[in-house]
Amino acid sequence: MSILDRFSIDGQVAIVTGAGRGLGAATAVALAEAGADVLISARTAEQLEVVAEQVRATGRRCVVVAADLSDLDAVAGLAQAAYDELGRLDTVVNNVGGTFPKEFLKTSPRFLNEAFSFNVATAHALTRAAVPLMLQDDDGKQKSVVTISSMMGRTADRGFVAYGTAKAALAHWTKMAAQDLSPRIRVNGIYVGSILTSALEFVAGQPELMGQLEGKTPLGRVGEPEDIAAGVLYLSSKAGQYVTGKLIEIDGGIQQPTLDLGFPDVAP
């Protein structure tokens, strides 16, 4: 077996949430290029169809499920849909998530709870539904779950008390789930740095802010979605078969926040 063969996931089936654009879209296409059939889901059907065309262009099958993935029943239902439509289930990529930055005193308990639900409970709901289906295929192959956390889950900055706390919880969920599901299912995650997706569109058009991001990143550039997709493929394939319960930092080498959003000091 060539070392490159370890990155093949030919004939496997993956679910990718939040796959209408950005990291999820790049990940779905990457997994298809490596040989997997893919179920993709997000809120906007039009975006998903564009990604589906790219997946099908690789010769792989693609199932599109447009859904509100903040609905825990809807996200859990993706597991059975993938199994029914594609015949098996090998990999789950918990990519859906995100929360807008907000000042501390404007971050209500309800907002914090919603951030936790959207970033952590969604991953738990889908993975919990997927595990029995993954284990139905007694072919000796390891199955894989990959979570998409954030560098804000391991660092601290103003305005991110909800998002950062939720992503830190997701990272620890990853480690705990890996213990519960080993040895048949590996669970790993990625601490994502500054990646040029729609979330950073407001930065791309402002040279000063872009310079700030690049200047505080040791590798001197903002990441691309494919940088993360490559990490997901590694964790999903035989190349990563001796890795579980780990969070890989794909962030250009940053050790501190890279963008000052200008949140003021707390005032009476």
Catalytic annotation, residues? 163
The alpha carbon of 107 is separated from its chain's Cα centroid by a whole number of angstroms, namely 24
Q: Which two tokens stand for residue 225?
A: 């979605």
What is the Cα–Cα distance from 70 to 43, expressed in whole angstroms? Answer: 9
What is the Cα–Cα distance from 110 to 108, expressed in whole angstroms? Answer: 5
Q: Are residues 13 and 82 in contact, defined by beta-carbon separation less than 8 angstroms?
A: yes
What is the Cα–Cα distance from 232 to 34, expressed in whole angstroms? Answer: 11
Q: How many residues does the chain have?
A: 268
The alpha carbon of 19 is separated from its chain's Cα centroid by a whole number of angstroms, namely 9
The amino acid present at 100, given as its one-letter code, is F
Calculate the dihedral angle through the C-alpha atoms of 164, 166, 170, 176, rounding to the nearest 10 degrees: 110
The alpha carbon of 64 is separated from its chain's Cα centroid by a whole number of angstroms, namely 17
Non-local (6+) Cβ contacts of 26 within 8 A are: 224, 225, 226, 228, 229
Q: Which two tokens stand for residue 168?
A: 């830190």
Non-local (6+) Cβ contacts of 77 within 8 A are: 67, 129
